[in-house]
Amino acid sequence: MVAFNWMTALTGGALIGLSATLLLAFNGRIAGISGIVNGAIAFTRSEIWRWFFIAGLLLGGALYEYGLATQPTPTSTFSPSAMIIGGFLVGFGTRLGSGCTSGHGVCGLGRLSGRSLVAVLVFLTTGLITVFLTRHVIPG
């Protein structure tokens, strides 16, 4: 288990907030990752910024992991099939909830959106129930 580092968490949160604010200020867009990826797949020339945003996410993660992290990120013990099923469920949930945790949680709550507040409460409740079920009810 990796020890919690509050400075890393604070820096990461500030960078996420800064990037979401800059995207809204300079592009008039919400930094909801599911919407950004969905728009990138339906590629149009005027939407090239989406690919740059995605590349920045990937390069930033790689820069931290391989250049700045003091210890490697723990690996998952979940099976690949469970992670694929989970990924499809997350995709279904983002479509059903009209957005993802980044769009609702970071940007929507920052704009005092009631719809985003409800979505975040549903995300958190579902996460709590899922952890409880997988840790205490479902044998495994």
What is the reported pLDDT for 98? 82
Distance CA 93, CA 120 (A): 12
DSSP H helices in the chain: 6-27, 33-41, 49-63, 80-96, 101, 109-110, 114-132
* Per-residue confidence band for 46, with pLDDT thresholds at 50, 70 and 90: confident
d(CA 90, CA 35): 13
State the average pLDDT for the chain: 86
Rounded to two decimals, the pTM is: 0.73
Measured in degrees and rounded to the nearest 5, phi and psi for residue 30 equal -85, 140
Cα 61 from Cα 12, distance rounded (Å): 11
For residue 71, pLDDT beyond 90:
no
CA–CA distance, 92 with 9 (Å, rounded to integer) = 28
pLDDT, position 1: 58
Residue 140 is predicted with a pLDDT of: 65
